[in-house]
Amino acid sequence: MQKNIKSLSITLKSHLRYSSPVIHCLLLLILTYALFHQNFYHDWSIDDFGVLVNNPDTKSLSGFFNDTRPGRPLREITFLLDFFFFGNNPFGYHFQQLFWHGLNAILIYVLARKLFSRSLPAFLGALIFLVHPLNVEVVANISNRKDSLSLAFSIFSVLVYGWAYQSQKSRRLMLFFCSVIFYLIACQAKQNALLVPFLWLVYEYRFISPDQRLLARLSPIKSLMTLFGLGCLAYVWKLVSIGGIRELQLNAWEIISRANYYPKPDLTDYIHLLLKSWGTMIPKIIWPVNLAPAYAIPAPDTWVEFPVALSIITIIAVITFLFHSGKQQNSNVFFALVWCLAFWLPVSNLWPSAMLTADRYWYAILPGLIFLFLHATQKAVEIYHKTSVTLITCICLFFAFLSFQQSQRWSNNAVLWEHALAVNPDCSVSNHNMGITLYLNGKPREAIEYLNKTLSLSPYDKKCYYNMYLIFTKLGQHSLAQEALEKSRRPPPWKSH
């Protein structure tokens, strides 16, 4: 009996010592709620009203199955749980919002321990993810829960795929099946999880011996070339299916118009602008200041403009390191780069479909970048342990300070859009949303000023004209209201030919 008690005591001590993974995971979750505790007192913001507050799909199971707002079923299921306990009080929704962010930090910690075989670097990497200011948009804005859900189930899928290889053959098939289920669930949160099977592939290259691999039958380089070829075929197939270059050009013009940029209808202009949008965001990974929920990317003047050149250099560097690391055995760099690409491609706008750039696009990409950082600093941490850990801790503290500040700006829409306009006063999206916020706060005349600024920047914004129509109608200015209504029905020039 005494031996059993002593054995249990030793086991508990080993699990609860400072460097224990259990302690690390609990600490990450506690730090999540500590850093973002102010979020509990925030009001609804941005898309919360359409996605959640006024969405019948999130109020009951019958509403959910009616599916009046299709697209993100997993997110809506989590909102049903929140609504059951908290109704329409945003305070309660942040409990689950913060849980998913903290869980993602824990899952990154688990995966990083697998990659680097050490707890401390894995914990520091997870901590960087937890406190990085680029993640504040996902953490603070409840409607962006789709990003944290998608990442959580994507990592679950990768981890379970790896556990399948470590299990007995009788359980292996079941775990592979569970990995596929987690992947499908991640896609129901957000479609940026579409390429997660690529991570199964690189997991095999990193951890599984060649004779046991299920997917990685070819060499990493041959697999990359095969996937690139299939991607090109898929792009051409989609191009043909929508009607050719003409339709692709119209999609590109839609994106260009959101950037307040009206050049000749040339795809080259779109590519130029796309490169600038990527290059604008890359420095924010290292120096995440002046963050906002929307950005206006001015038209680039030349191909050697800094953001454009930075994008081109980054593309060359990624391709070079990808092929170099692909020739190495069990490469963390190859795993990390493919991770970044798998989550970047769906939001890259190589197929024009979304906003040019947003902070939330980096949420799922950041773990791959953190794995690269941990690999790059691995030797320094081993040789100069105390100095390296101190420096990384200082970086985390700096990021935590910025995240705390950035989180305060999400307290309500008025504060948020005022900050966004301070960052970029010529952003039509920010001006439009500030106008709507003022209108809803009972200040229609002030709202008109911001909506006029929006139209000076984006003269074909149908939503803005329609909101002008509503405001002028409320003010009793019926002639101006009718004029705004007619302009809201006017097709933009790229659709009038």
pLDDT tens profile 365-402: 999 999 999 999 988 888 888 898 899 999 999 999 99
The 3-state secondary structure of the chain reads CHHHHHHHHHHHHHHHCCCCHHHHHHHHHHHHHHHCHHHHHCCCCCCHHHHHHCCHHHCCHHHHHHCCCCCCHHHHHHHHHHHHHHCCCHHHHHHHHHHHHHHHHHHHHHHHHHHHCCHHHHHHHHHHHHHCHHHHHHHHCHHHHHHHHHHHHHHHHHHHHHHHHHCCHHHHHHHHHHHHHHHHHHHHHCHHHCCHHHHHHHHHHHHCCHHHCCCCCCCHHHHHHHHHHHHHHHHHHHHHHHCCHHHHHHHHHHHHHHCCCCCCCCHHHHHHHHHHHHHHHHHHHHCCCCCCCCCCCCCCCCCCCHHHHHHHHHHHHHHHHHHHHHCCCCCHHHHHHHHHHHHHHHHCCCCCCCCCCCHHHHCCCHHHHHHHHHHHCHHHHHHCHHHHHHHHHHHHHHHHHHHHHHHHCCCCHHHHHHHHHHHCCCCHHHHHHHHHHHHHCCCHHHHHHHHHHHHHHCCCCHHHHHHHHHHHHHHCCHHHHHHHHHHHCCCCHHHCC
Q: What's residue 119's pLDDT?
A: 85
User: What is the reported pTM?
Assistant: 0.90
Q: What's residue 4's pLDDT?
A: 53
Per residue in 267-287, pLDDT (tens digit) is: 777 888 889 999 999 999 999
Q: What is the average pLDDT value for the chain, to the nearest integer?
A: 87
The Cα–Cα gap between 308 and 301 comes to 10
Per residue in 145-203, pLDDT (tens digit) is: 999 999 999 999 999 999 999 888 778 889 999 999 999 999 999 888 999 999 999 99
The Cα–Cα gap between 171 and 176 comes to 9
Q: What's residue 296's pLDDT?
A: 84
Which class does domain 425-495 fall in?
A: mainly alpha
Q: Which residues of the chain have pLDDT under 50?
A: 1, 8, 11-17
Q: Where are the domains of the chain?
A: 1-44+71-405, 425-495
Q: What's residue 122's pLDDT?
A: 93
Q: What's residue 10's pLDDT?
A: 53
Q: What's residue 246's pLDDT?
A: 67
Per residue in 409-423, pLDDT (tens digit) is: 999 999 999 999 999
Q: What's residue 54's pLDDT?
A: 85
